[in-house]
A and B are shown apart, each in its own frame.
Chain A
């Protein structure tokens, strides 16, 4: 007990700082891994949405309809319900449905369609003339994707990723409530359910700091690479 007493302070009497640090690390872990995976899947889905659309490189009504349906369905399901629905899938992939890693499948499946739509919007903003110019030079479709589409939409991809990252932080909090750990779990189980408002408040403050840092870094990066 003495350890706990030592780490307690007068202005947040019930906050255990090492527990808070662990929770923060769990939140950061969930956010970072799921963000990286969301980035990859979101770009793949976004590219598919864009390229299979009418008048584009891989125009294909069937693939377009399937991808659009997938994206729309998973974007519409409230996240807290999605986690519950995905428990069997999670148990199969991760081997457990508790702990930070168990939250990852739901986070990625929930956030990728969201990011995919932003990728699609970013790609649509590219001037068609630039794609035409690349075609006129004899570029292959792969070259057009990697040398034109992705670099030209990069600022939109990054600013979309910032928004997605922030959404993911809030998703991790929801996941925390049903057993994934992290700051959401801390605020809900340790704070709210035990009537310790200072713990809830502290967890909220840490979430806010994470969000502010993400937003700031995202904006800086977007501005730096945007040469328009």
Chain B
């Protein structure tokens, strides 16, 4: 659906040349939700704007739905953009227009007749759950409602691709979740390809099928979300994965425990997909001569299944502990001994 090849974007600044996007190759499949995560300054904002040519690439190619975006004439580019919806961190609604007129805006641009526009606007208002708010102005809406208007507006021309530029970063956690649910919903209903950029791993975990991690203009790691969660290779990725798998207090709590003298082995277990539902701990206690103590744990849902991490302490003689470790590994659960070896 989307393919980037050797894409480069450099800027000339007063302090010299800055490479915001550095030879990126990427393929995004039709109908998937693809997340790009990185800290600010990683170049992800530039990358997403290269997709619809809001930024012109310095070199390289962008192909969307078979069209080579960087070789289109101005007119053809405008037509291609009508098939790519975009939503923004700060919504970018026209404050001078009501909700209905905002949603109608891309239809006006395309030259859709008034009657058809009104009908389409009403459908979209229902789709994003804004019934009864059509006559309000953006200033009368909450952040979540504004983003719903943004989504409706982006979907007005039945695009094939939806680009989300930090679409939930200005929203509170609860509203973020409701917007994410809406995105999953339209992805399933309309079969829309969604590309989103974010700095929150939570967003990736919740809705993305695949993820790419960006650092200094390059993609350092990419793959299925569960796979990346299970075996993050790069430091940067590990940091992001930590955001969602470990409760914030984990490290602090563990530090505290490890200072106690009589603590035995401390293990970190990582469950992915179906594993998270196995009665692993019960089996360990039944089969081996060890005492198990659960210290901390968390299970999160992703689009491809659950993902969780569990911290336990084990007490018992060395042979038994080794047997337990072997058993856990046999069960395809990742295990790391973080204390006591």
Contact = CB atoms under 8 A, between A and B. Distances in A.
A132 to B, nearest CB: 6
Given A129-B90, A133-B86, A133-B88, A138 B110 contact: yes
Interface stretch (A31-39, A139-147, A187-195): A139-147
B94 interface: yes
A227 B137 contact: yes
Contact of B109 (A130, A138, A152, A227): A138
B105 A227 contact: no
Contacts, number: 67
A147 B105 contact: yes
A195 to B, nearest CB: 54
B81 A137 contact: yes
Interface string A172-191: 00000000000000000000
B336 interface: no
Interface in A102-152: 127, 129-130, 132-140, 143, 147-148, 151-152
Interface residues of B, number: 29
Interface hub of A133, A137, A143, A225 (most chain B Cβ within 10 A): A137
Nearest to B98: A227
Contact of B139 (A136, A138, A152, A228): A228
Given A132-B54, A227-B137, A137 B105 contact: yes
A201 interface: no
B95 interface: yes
A227 B86 contact: no
Given A138-B110, A139-B109, A227-B137, A130 B81 contact: no
27 contacts: A127-B90, A129-B92, A130-B92, A132-B92, A133-B88, A133-B93, A135-B81, A136-B54, A136-B84, A137-B105, A137-B106, A137-B153, A138-B78, A138-B80, A138-B106, A138-B110, A139-B78, A143-B108, A143-B109, A147-B109, A148-B94, A151-B94, A151-B96, A225-B96, A227-B96, A227-B137, A227-B138
Interface of A: 127, 129-130, 132-140, 143, 147-148, 151-152, 154, 225, 227-228
Interface of B: 52, 54, 77-82, 84, 86, 88, 90, 92-97, 105-106, 108-110, 137-139, 153, 157, 163
